[in-house]
Structure 1
Amino acid sequence: MPHPTPKPQQVHPAIYMMQQWQAFMDGVDRIITFYIAENTQAFEGIEWQRFSNNTSMPFQITQDVSKQLQHISSEKISHQWLRAELLPFINRDNLSINQLNLFSESEYLILLIRIQTAQTPILSYLFFRNDCSNFGLSDSNTQLEPSHKAIIGKMASQFASITINEFFAANQANEQFRKQTISILKSRHIEANSLKEQQTNWKISWLNTYLAEISQRDAINYVISEAAQNKLLHSDVSFEQAKSSIDMCIHYICNLLAVIPGDEVLIEESYLIIDEPKVKVPIIDHNNQLINRSSKTMLLLDRLENAAIRVKQQGQSITSADVGSNMDKPITAPAISDALRKNRVRILQLFEQYPQRWSLIRQSFKPIMNISARKNTTLRSSG
């Protein structure tokens, strides 16, 4: 089963809001945002200054300031303009006279935006210039009027509300997409495993049925070991090839142990040889597109082997006449002899190349056995 996909790390809404504030209005030169981090009860702060590489940096505050921010975040008003000496995180003792003059009672140039979310309250302090360049105007001589501040405050509050709502909506959509994707992948994994299990069960059922059929046919109890069964199930062979492998294995064991009706035959892995898939006959692009001779010889041996298996299953002797009549396209015994004589050299080469193939005719079909015997006689004579 696949390992559960870890939940992707999400940007904190306060960090995201801080990034959006930076593009809110030209006149914002400094922003300080406070929020409660996950698994904590204290506020943390970050600061951004337009002329300081545009990089947000941590803003250190004391525990006392954190408590004051907690009280400020509980107030209901969405935004308000403040003076510097009214900020809880400003050390009033360090404010110069010029700074106090700059932020006189009539000069409220710091806009506080309160944002309430299910995760954390967010307090954003936006520091504006005292002129109309805040609106992107080139005229910087006209100071901000109360009407200007009212417009900016309302715009900033609405901007914050829309931005945060879109942030959570996008996160929710992404999370839903992530969960749905994981569900689809799990479903496909389960379906693949189920299909594989069904195929395995179907193969086992087929194997048991086939063994029962041939057991009844031969009056011999054929059983298969677990190792041999697994070898068949995990081999990429067709049902015809599987049947051929079982038949050859049974034939070998019955001859080896002189089995008689009523006996039990155990098909073991060591006796079970999985035949290679039959080689497709290659076509050579000559004038008449002649078939490769070696492949023709392999095809001849395959036809003889399959016919011999049918003859044996019928309880008949494996003779040239019976084999020829049981071939897909029946031929006479002299035709078989003539074909084997013409392909004798290639037959011997194929026997060496594929020692596990055509086992029945190599052991029980005299025309084939004679070819091998003549080869052995020649080797003994030359030695």
Structure 2
Amino acid sequence: MAQSLQITAAAPDPALLDLPWDVPLEDWPAETLAALPRGISRHVVRFVKLSGRVIAVKEIGETVAYREYELLRALNRLDVPSVVPVGVITGRRDANGERLEAVLITKHLQYSLPYRALFSQLLQPDTTGRLIDALAVLLVRLHLTGFYWGDVSLSNTLFRRDAETFAAYLVDAETGDLHDRLSDGQRAYDLEVARVNIIGELMDLEAGELLESGVDTVAIGGRLVERYSELWDTLTGAESFGTGERWRVAARIDRLNKLGFDVGELDITTDIDGTTVSIQPKVVDAGHHSRRLMRLTGLDVQENQARRLLNDLDSYRADLDRQGEDEEFVAHDWLTTVFEPAVRAVPREMRGKLEPAQLFHELLDHRWYVSSEQGRDVPMVEAVASYVETVLRDRPDEKSVLGLDASMLPRGEDLPGGLVP
């Protein structure tokens, strides 16, 4: 039956018209779908192959679809870690003329996984804590922009590797709302919802024997509250000191930079007699190290990956005694003689297993390990060969982990290749 589709998108792909919109999403043919791990969702969600890329399609009510689309666009303009909206399609009808739900389309976030796909028998003991820490950072960033989430949970989050940690991305914004500024009550409620949801999700994993033994799920929920509170107070708390301690202004900025945040503006006041100075950050932007690396090399990576790459760049500069040279020139040489050759030394068919920056981070770790084991400075070429054979070859392809529905993951079953967070 002919349909009258309405497509709302900033840059609509004509190939969208070729998809079977007259079929309920849960019945779409396998040849249309990309077999990627899916988290638990209250709506039907499918990953779909389109024009050489992958999109996520979610069936949802029309009003909610448009609202979430606009919220995700706003979050992307604010540079908050979240999935990128593609568009909304309405006016769908099946072969009998019956109305079908509208769909929200977003880009698939490459190298990301839902939390359930990260849990297997081969977990490192601190993986759960690292996921919670990543979610705490995401929640702080959202609250700093004035975004109230309303349904904070691991299920509504995607995770990507970021050096030795994880980076969290918002994937479901349908319950959210954007304000100029959040009240303490709004933040506290979001945090309590997060704590309760996380405890429930971890108990579900525990029941399915997907969680390492001995984990205190209630304590993990409490850890989110603690990490969030510590970070929020550090980023936004006022600090007072005597006029003879003005160096503490620079120290405060340096402390925030080390956490990965830039301070765009400080509110500095003195008391009536001028003996006490108070400072409070007014504008705090995340991504201090990633912005610096982007400026120097053009590499667009996660924050902790950027921190690790910058450390290697600084070591390269010191080893060659080039501290007095222009930083941009040294960075270009490091990029072309260190970073790019190391990544290209990995066989092409294995490069999709990890992002280039994550790959380089793990190469540095492996080189250090082999050098320590052998008591000598192992060349990078030799370290790459060892890493490929002993570590990378058996790793799953994180760009597209095929053949797994994470929501249906049976008890104790590993991901393909034995994913080890």
TM-score normalised according to structure 1 size = 0.23
Higher relative contact order (CA 8 A, sep 6+): 2
When Rg is computed on C-alpha atoms for both structures, the one with the higher figure is 1
Q: Could you say which structure has the higher helix fraction?
A: 1
Q: TM-score, normalised by structure 2?
A: 0.21
> Higher strand proportion, which one?
2
